[in-house]
Structure 1
Amino acid sequence: MKDHYLILAGLGFATLIMAWLPSFAKKIKVSSPIILLLIGFGIYAAAIPLGWPSPIWNDEWLMYFSETIVIISLMGAGLKIGSHYTLKSWRKPLLLVFITMPICMVSAYLLGSYFLVLSLPSSLLLAAILAPTDPVLAAEVQLDDPLAEKSPEDNVRFTLTAEAGLNDGIAFPFSYMAVLVAQAGSWAAFDLTGWILDEFLLRIVLGIIIGLAIGRLIGYLFDRLHHVTGVETFVGFLSLSLTIMTYGLSELLHGYGFLAVFFAGFSLRYYEKVSGDYKKKLHDFITEVEHLLLVVWIILFGGSIMSGMLTLTDWKGVTFALLFVLLIRPLAGMVPLIFVKKEKMKEKLAISFLGIRGIGSVFYLSWAFLKFDNFTHKNELYAITAYIILFSIVLHGLTAPSIINYFRGKAERSSDLEEN
């Protein structure tokens, strides 16, 4: 019984801290995941028996937990994007998805094959899991006011929000590719045409359509129920219900659930007949759930680091992780932005640098290991992913708040000048 009470006290303390942590993190200008990671180290050192990873997590448990956090974060990201963002505004996030992401993947694959000397399926999997920017750990660099309906006050935050919402789903086909190549036994035996038509095209299109349709339908129901029956919907937990339902339904209908969830939130956010106050309530509730689950995830991640996760790769894995965070993503991010002439260089540098990696990568990794249990270098892939997440938490956590505050302050000064 003592262990039971220790667990309750430890988790209660950690989640209680989260109530003040965002404000405290803003004051000291660091991202809250850094502080949560330190709390995780402390709870592990205090020997609170949370069932720590030792050091590898159970694949099935890890997949379901990571999956839950990611879809909740994607719903929040969709609900943040207001209707004042025009098709032209989407140019930069689409460039990041269709140019930057492939460059990152090709770079990771080549380094995986020739520097880390991984097998073909493992190199493909490494490239796939590092493709998405993370909507969870990157929440603090995304849009934060769903009621803001003036002109886009921050191109950097919008671009990062939209990129995270899009590429978490578009990365899924490449995880499928790695699994299918591993199952086939060689690249020559892999059905490339079938993969393009089904896993790449069909499932992406279905995910987007299903998400847009569900968001629109739910918005219509919210509106008509009030006008026809007088029933007013004003409970925030419906955003969680919508998230789970959309994800499950999309996967059952052969669409990518990550894309469906993001576009459901996006579609509902655009439905004009649903009041802005209610949209904000939906967003705020899903964000609080996300923060709660993030506390648990990072604490356990801290425990996995303390119990030896980082020792499962050598200096090559550490070097690869640093190269990916500090060199590959920033350079790949700059490539498409060079052609965006109206964007200022400081904004381009910020967008390219803040390609935060995190929980989405862990989901894809555990998902692939459950789909095919004979991947070589399993422990090394987990360790490399852990290093990349750790470097991203620390490096981006120390720099992102100052970067975002700079652009937020610049936007506010511009707004004040326009009003005067």
Structure 2
Amino acid sequence: MELVLWFIVVGALLIAMALGSSVLKRLPLSTSLLYLLVGYLLGRFGVGQLDPYVQAKLLEHLTEVAVIVSLFTAGLKLRAPLRDTQWRTAVRLASLAMVLTVGGVTAAGVWLLGLPLGAAVLLGGVLAPTDPVLASDVQVEHPFRRDTLRFGLTGEAGFNDGTAFPFVMLGLGLLGLHPLGEGLWRWVAVDLVWAVVAGLGVGTLLGGAVGRVVLYLRRTHREAVGLDDFLALGLIALSYGVALLLHAYGFLAVFAAGLALRRIEKKSNQGKPPEAVEQAAQVRANPESATHPEHAPAYMANAVLNFNEQIERIGEVSLVVVLGLLLARLPLPAEALWFTPLLVLVVRPLSVGLSLLGSSTSRPQRGLMGWFGIRGIGSLYYLFYALNHGVPETLARQFVPLVLTVVAVSIVVHGISVTPLMQRYERGHHSEDDTAHG
């Protein structure tokens, strides 16, 4: 009977979202907030029995799939050339702001939560990355539009889901659950340098190679046409698998693969007006566009992006409902009442402000970047990853309700504020950077 009820709930939820999506865009609500509410209510009524401690392995894999799909999508959206100044903002956020956030959470963990240093660093690594899955309302809406705020947040979410991994491994190592080497040499050489560089390299090489082969077959032989969904899933799986085989970070590989596929389109259309490229990319009703010498790159990138966005939404529905189910079965931790505001209102804004000192971003942009440090599926993945790598039960039972609460609060407060804040930003922001096309 419960399975039948799930079919009804899921079907009704998807149809309601499809019918009401345009209305929600005008309201101070996000779809994730509604999914969370549905999951919580189902859990309170006893529908769906999930134990985060017993089923941590399943939850790790579910969140893992959702994150890699979203990272590939984020890469496809970023069309600016690497020399563009917008990349500096994204890199600063994904590196300096990331380190400062980990440091802030670590300090709070040691001095306020009474955690051992390893556990505090691990908590910082879990909560530092911003989310590529739930942040679609503040990310780049279209690859052919330029906006420093959206580009920075999208690039940050794409990078820092991978750059958080070294801190997670450091925390596990300090807890005695991962080898760090004498004087941290192994952590620096393998977990920090090799895994990051190799991950980016694998994704760049495979994304570029697969994209060029497909375009060659389409332009020259009119083959390999259609099934762009298979192309997307295949490239995601291949990049992720090869990176893991080489002990590199698969998250960075998948993101880099998406970037590489978009760069092929960008190079092929160098010098053309963005409006013309965008129009060519949208001509999906005409199958000749897929093999057209000029239109094929834009057609391919756009087709893959459209498919990935649909898969990303399905992942969002599933996992936010699961988050609601889990929250319904867990008590609210008392420390979350002060720790969550500390992270959202102090640590994140300070980290962003310090990391962007001297940058070309405007004050409103820095303010919104500091506010929209959305925590989500990426943090859930790292949480369950840590649980499955031997975190002691006492720490696990402290971490799980705290991290789930932080993610839920982020979904609620950012979901309520995203529409009015972004509408105000769009109305008031008229600089050349945000009206020019890339």
> Could you state the TM-score of these two structures normalised by the residue count of structure 1?
0.90
| Residues 348 and 370, structure 2, Cα contact 8 Å, conserved in 1 | yes
CA distance in 1 between partners of 2:316 and 2:307 (Å): 14
Instruction: Give, in angstroms, the shift of residue 401 of structure 1.
Output: 2.0
CA distance in 2 between partners of 1:34 and 1:412 (Å): 30
Equivalence for 2:31: 32
Instruction: Give, in angstroms, the shift of residue 330 of structure 1.
Output: 1.0
Aligned: 1:16 with 2:15: yes
Equivalence for 1:209: 201
CA distance in 2 between partners of 1:276 and 1:22 (Å): 27
RMSD between aligned alpha carbons?
Answer: 2.5
Instruction: Give, in angstroms, the shift of residue 183 of structure 1.
Output: 2.0
Flag the 1:185–1:163 CA change in 2: closer, same or farther, 3 A. closer
Partner AA of 2:100 in structure 1: I
Once the two structures are superposed, residues 39-88 of structure 1 have per-residue CA deviations (whole angstroms, 9 ceiling, x without a partner) of: 2233334543x3x3246561101110010000000001000011456432
Instruction: Give, in angstroms, the shift of residue 376 of structure 1.
Output: 3.8
Tell me the number of residue pairs that the alignment of Structure 1 and Structure 2 aligns. Answer: 407
Flag the 1:66–1:376 CA change in 2: closer, same or farther, 3 A. same
Equivalence for 2:292: none
Flag the 1:412–1:235 CA change in 2: closer, same or farther, 3 A. farther
CA distance in 2 between partners of 1:389 and 1:416 (Å): 30
Give secondary structure in 2 for the equivalent of 1:371. Answer: coil
Instruction: Give, in angstroms, the shift of residue 417 of structure 1.
Output: 8.9
CA distance in 1 between partners of 2:430 and 2:9 (Å): 40
Instruction: Give, in angstroms, the shift of residue 228 of structure 1.
Output: 3.2
The runs of at least 4 aligned residues of structure 1 exceeding 6 Å deviation read 184-187, 412-419
Equivalence for 1:177: 170
CA distance in 2 between partners of 1:389 and 1:129 (Å): 11
Aligned: 1:123 with 2:120: yes
Once the two structures are superposed, residues 229-267 of structure 1 have per-residue CA deviations (whole angstroms, 9 ceiling, x without a partner) of: 221433331212211221111111221100000000011
After superposing the two structures, state which structure 1 stretch, 75-84 or 13-22, moved more.
13-22
Equivalence for 2:98: 101
Give secondary structure in 2 for the equivalent of 1:357. Answer: coil
| Residues 177 and 390, structure 2, Cα contact 8 Å, conserved in 1 | no
Instruction: Give, in angstroms, the shift of residue 14 of structure 1.
Output: 2.2
Flag the 1:233–1:104 CA change in 2: closer, same or farther, 3 A. same
Q: Give percent identity, aligned residues only.
A: 28
| Residues 127 and 375, structure 2, Cα contact 8 Å, conserved in 1 | yes
Q: How does 1:120-269 map to 2 (within 5 A)?
A: 120-146=117-143, 148=144, 152=146, 154-183=147-176, 191-237=183-229, 238-269=231-262
| Residues 73 and 290, structure 1, Cα contact 8 Å, conserved in 2 | yes
Unaligned runs of 5+ in 1: none
CA distance in 2 between partners of 1:28 and 1:388 (Å): 23
Flag the 1:373–1:413 CA change in 2: closer, same or farther, 3 A. closer
Flag the 1:160–1:57 CA change in 2: closer, same or farther, 3 A. farther
Flag the 1:245–1:118 CA change in 2: closer, same or farther, 3 A. same
Flag the 1:106–1:322 CA change in 2: closer, same or farther, 3 A. same
CA distance in 2 between partners of 1:246 and 1:376 (Å): 36
| Residues 168 and 259, structure 1, Cα contact 8 Å, conserved in 2 | yes
CA distance in 2 between partners of 1:414 and 1:95 (Å): 22
Partner AA of 1:321 in structure 2: T
Partner AA of 1:77 in structure 2: A
CA distance in 2 between partners of 1:131 and 1:364 (Å): 10
After superposing the two structures, state which structure 1 stretch, 410-419 or 208-217, moved more.
410-419
CA distance in 1 between partners of 2:349 and 2:391 (Å): 33
CA distance in 1 between partners of 2:435 and 2:168 (Å): 48
Equivalence for 1:290: 312
Aligned: 1:74 with 2:95: no
Instruction: Give, in angstroms, the shift of residue 184 of structure 1.
Output: 6.2
Partner AA of 2:351 in structure 1: A
After superposing the two structures, state which structure 1 stretch, 168-177 or 227-236, moved more.
227-236
CA distance in 2 between partners of 1:73 and 1:416 (Å): 24
Give secondary structure in 1 for the equivalent of 2:373. Answer: coil
Partner AA of 1:225 in structure 2: L
CA distance in 1 between partners of 2:436 and 2:250 (Å): 42
Partner AA of 1:88 in structure 2: T
Give secondary structure in 1 for the equivalent of 2:176. Answer: helix
Partner AA of 1:215 in structure 2: G
Equivalence for 1:355: 373
After superposing the two structures, state which structure 1 stretch, 404-413 or 10-19, moved more.
404-413
Which residue of the other structure, out of 296, 300, 304, is the alignment partner of 1:278? 300
| Residues 122 and 375, structure 1, Cα contact 8 Å, conserved in 2 | no
Flag the 1:9–1:414 CA change in 2: closer, same or farther, 3 A. same
Flag the 1:123–1:73 CA change in 2: closer, same or farther, 3 A. same
| Residues 239 and 253, structure 2, Cα contact 8 Å, conserved in 1 | yes
Equivalence for 1:301: 323
After superposing the two structures, state which structure 1 stretch, 157-166 or 217-226, moved more.
217-226
Equivalence for 1:328: 347
Give secondary structure in 2 for the equivalent of 1:321. Answer: helix
Once the two structures are superposed, residues 331-387 of structure 1 have per-residue CA deviations (whole angstroms, 9 ceiling, x without a partner) of: 1111122311x3221111011111111111111111122122436421111111112
Unaligned runs of 5+ in 2: 269-295
| Residues 67 and 377, structure 2, Cα contact 8 Å, conserved in 1 | yes
Flag the 1:136–1:6 CA change in 2: closer, same or farther, 3 A. same
| Residues 37 and 299, structure 1, Cα contact 8 Å, conserved in 2 | yes
Flag the 1:165–1:21 CA change in 2: closer, same or farther, 3 A. farther
Flag the 1:409–1:6 CA change in 2: closer, same or farther, 3 A. same
| Residues 131 and 374, structure 2, Cα contact 8 Å, conserved in 1 | yes
CA distance in 2 between partners of 1:38 and 1:164 (Å): 24
After superposing the two structures, state which structure 1 stretch, 85-94 or 362-371, moved more.
85-94
